[in-house]
Structure 1
Amino acid sequence: MAERINHPNPQFRRNDWTDLNGLWDFRFDQTKEGLSQNWQKGFEATHEIKVPFVYQSERSGIHEKAFCPVVWYQRVLNKTAEDHKKQIIHFEAVDYQSVLWINGAYVGSHSGGNSRFSFDITPFLTEKENIIVLRVEDSLEDMTIPRGKQYWKETAEIMWFTQMTGIWRDVWLEEKDNCSIEELRLTPDIDRKEVEIELYFSDDTSGLDHFMLHTEVTLDEQIIAKEARLVKGRHLKFCIGIDDFNDHGLGSWWTPEKPNLYDLKFELVHDNQIKDTVYSYFGMRKISMEQNKFCLNNRPYFFSSVLDQGYFPDTLLTPPSFEALEADVQWIKRLGFNGVRKHMMSSENKFLYLCDYYGLLVWSEMAAAYDYSEEYAYRMVDEWKTVLKQGYNHPCIAAWVPLNESWGVPNIYHSTKQQAHAQSLYYLTKSVDDTRPVISNDGWEHCRSDLFTVHDYGSDEATLTQRYKNVETILSDMPGLNGKKFLFCPGYHYEGQPVMCTEMGGVNYHFGKGPKVNPSVLNEQEFVESIRKIVKVYEESPIIEGFCYTQLTDTETEICGLLTWDRKPKASVEELQAIFSQDN
């Protein structure tokens, strides 16, 4: 892949799409009167809002921090239905419960703030102007909603940040033929030197004969493979040999150091007419655990990563632009890391694409709730399934992390029900993806996990050196919450998994703007030396296979970033790179 792609879904893209970001009509509904007043048929706006920025953010044009349980969006769509064409509207993320109407007619609904949803709006379009109305409902009081670091109070504090309600990722319209490709699943296999390709087609293809699928694989614009297959029914699975690499790393495997990406082009053809064209890409890489080692492409690989909260000063969890998101990925690379932990949120497709493109391994997480209930369990499973499907094809994703530090399962150590929930997420994930490790509960109180991950914000070099001599000392020291958390739940134990410290460091340094937090270092030299001493312990430990440094940037309540909240480095980039960079 020679040039980077700015598209809402780079892994599955068509040329015919329309950006629906920009100015929308907006109205608060503090008393939830909109439905009874028929706002779904159109309403008188009180504000304009710049989508995809939530009303709490400065960039939205509203910048109102007071919570409102229901908000309404509206815009005109100048699009008519065409013969044999479908118009699909995509919402990359809306927090939390959404209902869509077109021209007053109910289209569909969705619950979940971290997953994409789409609707076929073709039957609702007219030849005149079409009115799109979206109602969004959120809650501060419901602690079982997966919300990540969004605070349940109106003012951010400690490690929780401003809450968000409404559209917060891209909105876009896609046109496609009635006969089209619906889903794509890509599984590379470097041992067999092939990529497995699995496609699902629209219902309109199943009753017709003579459909052909033309597939082309290229690398740096050079054709690697090209073939045509007969399509019978809605499902097709096949493999294409990719043998332009070898075991000595001289070819085209994907790694953070050499993120080689193969381009894919699919054409669905009927009676010599192209009905659909979809573009995608993949990377040939393998994640595995061998003899207590974390391996990339069958070789031990030390994971040097940074925790990324993903917040921005004037846009909160929404990046100000594609270029701003790209700049964050480039900062992570410049600072010497080979991985990133996108914390307490699902990673958007554009971020994953940039990690594919520039070369970063990603710990893929999910936004957590704060309390447990049966309703939470249903919500979590439903949304996690979508997150898995959306992320599966990205070579950058190295591990799945549905739960973190017992958030959402606060009594997991004693509750067999909450342990069963963690296990259900683990086995659900393994049942649809057996190519990546899964962590049942990152940091402590593990159930069954493929990696033994620990969170440790200790800073005393001697103590850390002693602790990370072997697994027994880690288990006895119980570093989680300063000895207040067991590392495994009852009935579960260490089984030889690779060991990583997936939260560590967190050195506070007040640099320019930002809140005052104690304890903190006094100057740049002390900042760099404190980081160097901590990182050295993990790099020299005989059992540690990787770490995740907290964190990339400051936030509205934290000053432990390597960069300020407005993305200015707090120390020499060259010195920090020398600390974190690995010779893998």
Structure 2
Amino acid sequence: MSRSLPISASAQGGVYPRPQLVRPNWHDLAGEWAFEHDDQDIGRSEKWFVDAAHLGRVITVPFPPESEMSGITDPGFHPVVWYSRVISPEDVAASGWSPERDRVVLHFGAVDYRASVWIDGQFIGSHEGGQTPFSFDVTEALSPQKNGVLVVRAEDDPHDVAQPRGKQDWLEEPHVIWYHRTTGIWQPVWLESVPEQRIQALSWTPNVPTGNVAIEVDLTRRPATILTVHVELSLEGEILARQSYSTVEPRSQATIQIARQANGQAFEALLWSPENPRLIDAHVVIAAEDGTILDESFSYFGLRSVGVAGGSFLLNDRPYFVRSVLEQGYWPQSHLAAPSAEALRAEVELIKALGFNAARIHEKVEDPRFLYWADRLGLLIWGEMGSTYEFSSEAVSRVTREWIDVVRRDRSHPSIVTWVPLNESWGVQQIAHDDAQLNFAQSLYHLTRALDPTRPVISNDGWEHAISDILTIHDYAGTAEQLDANYKDIDAIRALVAGMGPAGRRLQLIPREVDGQSIMVTEFGGVSFAPDAADDSWGYTTATTYEDFERRVSGLVSSLRDNPILSGFCYTQLTDTMQETNGLTDAYRKPKLPVAVIRSIVSGQEAPLPRATAVDDSSLHSTMG
């Protein structure tokens, strides 16, 4: 395969909704849609999917109706909502559709929590799970000559605590650490024109010691004849590898050797890390027996390894101290949805500018475009599931199904270095006393390792660990002296683990020696400082002046940053979020101290700001403004 890459997936502009499986023919459906609440749940019986005239309001998609940017701005209890949008022949044409060759696929990035979809009254399909993508082939439902009416019903019961929901409040008004709900569409909706036989999914598994990468290709259906898969890998225009193989299966795998890695003295030159976030571009083609190209897509991956050994967290087989910050991914004007694609890049840049090399996405499955910028700019990510609040057979089923989709969606991102299916016993509140809940936590650990054996897994972050590859502790000690006492040496940590942890919970339910474990304090700090905030501002401790805030944060961070026994920390938190005013910045991302001061506190040195990477978006066709 000799043709050069027309698209560099590693240098895209961050707008494309599915950054590791890129095709040029797509069309964004963001903008004004018809909308209506359905508090009495009468829309189905009255067939609103047939007559969208019942939808009398206007919403801006993809912002949730609770948010200001949606134009609705109603955070009350509304368990059912309806959307409608005309898909015009111009929309279909803008996706690059060719009637002789292509199918039209309708994609949803995420709809919280349960979605049903119709076009011109014809039922297209449904999906359950508020944090994961889904799509439908709508070729037959649309016409290139006339408008089609797309209708979406979204159901998000605020009182159903068996739904994976993260920090969405079950009370009408947000309180303590819980926030406004995010109902309905909150990630991009888009059309894609694709061949009938095509690449449905790609995944990459790098192997640093052997200098290769495994590719897994999922096709839309079993091939009728032998197909050839061509793969070309490159870095900044330099071809690293070409390989072709034949398949008659809907799923196929191959291992691609990267010849440059044979030189053991230079093998680190291609490795991905936060300091050197090198991404390898991939061009993947499937061809018929006569050589006709059936489909091609563009992707990328990072050649890197992660693990734990000898009490250390390892990146590329070397000890790496994790300086992480808790990231809620919440904006005051748009809630869990980012206010723009550019805001996702700015968030990663902000985290790095403040001296962190990692972020723990908290109780949320983040937009893939955020993960792209973490890949591109170099930021380690802890991938976490939004929790349920109850333990039941329904909750177990929902979490398991959605978590599988999360891991499969995101496992090729080099930035993700750890999986966290459970946090602080949310959804398994009686895990210390109920074998069923303990078994569930253990099963999630093993399930995650089965889906992705290449990353550490935390069974229950913060306390009451079942099986975890890293011993993570949440410790909101109010002073540096208290943190010093808890982690001053291995004997102190042994005593902490043997008794009740800082939160009054047991730290390990499955006994394991502390010695040799990678140990991190993955929540601490939480210092509230909001001089202009209302009386309901909340934090674990409170600073009264800028000087007091700097002194408290500096003392807490330096206590853990300079500890040779720990392998990392995660400071709570990046931004203020509604009444939770314990961020290093306010809710609008304005730092509470000079960036250089925070960066010095976090990194322990007078480090320069990271350089931004130039973006070339000209190779991607897009209709998003």
TM above 0.5, one fold?
yes
Aligned-partner residue type, residue 165 of structure 1 = T
Structure 1 counterpart of 2:208, one-letter code: I
Give SS of 2:270's match. Answer: coil
Corresponding letter in the other structure for 2:225: L
8 Å CA contact 1:341, 1:363 repeated in 2:
yes
Matching residue within 470, 476, 480 for 1:451: 470
Question: Which moves more between the two structures, 452-461 or 240-249?
Answer: 240-249
Alignment partner of 1:24 is 2:33: yes
1:65 aligned to 55, 70, 75, which one? 75
> Which secondary structure does the structure 2 equivalent of 1:251 belong to?
helix
338-347 vs 120-129, greater mean Cα deviation:
120-129
- 1:582 CA drift (Å): 6.5
Matches of 2:555 and 2:577, distance apart in 1: 24
Instruction: Show structure 1 runs of 5+ residues with no match.
Output: none
Tell me the CA shift for residue 544 of structure 1: 0.5
1:239 paired to 2:255 = yes
Contact 2:33–2:59, Cα closer than 8 Å, also in 1: yes
SS in 2 for 1:289: strand
Is the Cα contact below 8 Å between 1:4 and 1:357 reproduced in 2? no
Match in the other structure for 1:152: 170
Q: Which residue of 1 aligns with 2:599?
A: 577
Equivalent residue number for residue 612 of structure 2? none
**C-alpha distance in 1, partners of 2:34/2:72?**
12
Aligned to 1:272: 291
The equivalent position to 2:333 in structure 1, one of 314, 328, 331, is 314
Task: Please give the per-residue CA displacement for 1:83-116, whole angstroms capped at 9, x wherever unaligned.
Answer: 4422111111111111111211111111111111
Deviation string 1:288-338 (CA, Å, 9 cap, x unpaired) is 112111100010000001001111111011110011111111000100100
Quote the offset at 1:249 in angstroms.
Answer: 7.0
SS for the counterpart of 1:74 is: strand
Match of 2:615 in 1: none
Note closer, same or farther for the CA distance 1:344–1:197 as it changes in structure 2 (3 Å cut): same
Query: What is the distance in 2 between the residues matched to 1:579 and 1:191?
Result: 35
CA separation in 2, counterparts of 1:483 and 1:516?
Answer: 21
- Where does 1:379-418 land on structure 2 (aligned, <5 Å)? 379-418=398-437
Partner secondary structure for residue 271 of structure 2: coil
Distance 1:469 1:527 in 2: 24
Give deviations 1:482-507, integer Å, cap 9, x for gaps. 45211012666647320000001111
Q: Which residue of 1 aligns with 2:537?
A: 516
Contact 2:118 2:124 in 1 (8 A): yes
Q: Which residue of 2 aligns with 1:103?
A: 120
Which one of the candidate residues 204, 216, 225 is aligned to 2:241?
A: 225
Which of 4, 14, 35 is equivalent to 2:23?
Answer: 14
User: Cα deviations across residues 247-275 of structure 1 (Å, max 9, x unaligned)?
Assistant: 66751200000000001111222233322
Q: Which residue in 1 is equivalent to 2:359?
A: 340
Aligned-residue Cα RMSD (Å) equals 2.0
Deviation for aligned residue 1:64: 1.1
Q: Deviations over 1:346-375 (max 9, x none)?
A: 122101111000000101001011111110
User: What is aligned with 1:501?
Assistant: 521
Query: Which has the higher relative contact order, 1 or 2, with Cα contacts under 8 A spaced 6 or more apart?
Result: 2
Matched, 1:422 2:441: yes
After TM superposition, give the deviation of residue 549 of structure 1 in Å.
0.5
The counterpart of 2:314, out of the listed 295, 309, 313, is 295
1:233-258 Cα deviation digits (max 9, x unpaired): 32322122224355667512000000
- Aligned equivalent of 1:526: 548
- Residue of structure 1 in register with 2:189 after alignment: 171
Per the alignment, residue 113 of structure 1 pairs with 130
Aligned to 2:509: 489
Q: Distance in 2 between matches of 1:493 and 1:421?
A: 23
Output the CA distance in 2 between the equivalents of 1:443 and 1:164.
Answer: 26
- Residues 217, 248 of structure 1: alpha-carbon distance in 2 compared, 3 angstrom cutoff: closer
For the residues of structure 1 that align with 2:422 and 2:566, how far apart are their CA atoms? Answer: 21
**Distance (Å, rounded) in 1 between the aligned partners of 2:216 and 2:114:** 32
What residue is the counterpart of 1:440 in the other structure?
A: 459
| Contact 1:511 1:564 survives alignment (8 Å) | no
Maintained 8 Å contact 1:448/1:492:
no
Counterpart-to-counterpart distance in 1, 2:154 and 2:491 = 50
The amino acid of 1:355's aligned partner reads A
**1:390 Cα shift?**
0.5
Query: Is the 1:444–1:480 contact (alpha carbons within 8 Å) kept by the matching residues of 2?
Result: no
Q: Which amino acid aligns with 2:138?
A: I
- Tell me how far apart the structure 1 counterparts of residues 15 and 585 of structure 2 sit (CA, whole Å): 25
**How many residues of Structure 1 are paired with residues of Structure 2 in the alignment?**
582
Partner SS, residue 40 of structure 1: coil
Q: Secondary structure at the residue paired with 1:237?
A: strand
Residue deviations 1:196-232 (CA, integer Å, cap 9, x gap): 11112222x61124x3222211101222122333333
Corresponding residue SS for 1:101: strand
From 25, 40, 55, the counterpart of 2:49: 40
CA distance in 1, matches of 2:11, 2:185: 32
Is 2:475 aligned against 1:465? no
1:75-224 equivalent positions in 2, closer than 5 A = 75-79=85-89, 82-126=99-143, 127-203=145-221, 206-209=223-226, 211-224=227-240
Greater displacement, 226-235 / 301-310: 226-235
Contact 1:201 1:235 in 2 (8 A): yes
Query: Could you tell me whether the CA contact under 8 Å between 2:14 and 2:345 is conserved in 1?
Result: no
Greater displacement, 380-389 / 75-84: 75-84
Partner AA of 1:350 in structure 2: R
Q: Counterparts of 1:182 and 1:264 in 2: how far apart (Å)?
A: 16
Identify the match of residue 350 of structure 2 among 331, 338, 341: 331
- Letter of the 2:81 counterpart: V
Higher mean C-alpha deviation, range 312-321 or range 136-145: 136-145
Residue 540 of structure 1, CA deviation: 2.5
Distance 1:139 1:462, change over 3 A: same
Structure 1 residue 508: Cα displacement: 1.2
Which amino acid counterpart does residue 414 of structure 1 have in structure 2? Answer: H
CA distance in 2, matches of 1:438, 1:42: 48
Identity, in percent, stands at: 39
Deviations 1:118-146 (Å, cap 9, x if unpaired)?
11222322342111111111112111111
After superposition, give the CA deviation of every residue in 1:160-188 in whole Å (9 maximum; x if it has no partner): 10112110111111111011111211000
Shift of 1:537: 1.4
More displaced, 378-387 or 103-112?
A: 103-112
8 A Cα contact 2:104 2:192, kept in partner: yes
In the aligned structure 1, how far is the partner of 2:173 from the partner of 2:267? Answer: 51
Relative to structure 1, the CA distance from residue 413 to residue 23 in structure 2 (aligned partners, 3 Å threshold; closer, same or farther) is same
Aligned mates of 2:141, 2:38 — CA distance in 1: 25
Take 2:172 and 2:39, find their aligned partners in 1: how far apart are those partners?
Answer: 15
Determine helix, strand or coil for the equivalent of 1:350. helix
State the shift of 1:469 in Å: 2.7
Distance 1:101 1:494, change over 3 A: farther
Retained in 1: the 8 A contact 2:207–2:303?
yes
| Alignment partners' CA distance in 1, 2:355 and 2:545 | 22
Map 1:358-369; keep pairs closer than 5 Å. Answer: 358-369=377-388
Residue identity opposite 1:239 in structure 2: T
Whole-angstrom distance in 2 between the partners of 1:54 and 1:311: 12
SS of equivalent to 2:253:
strand
Bigger mean CA deviation after superposition, 223-232 or 148-157: 223-232
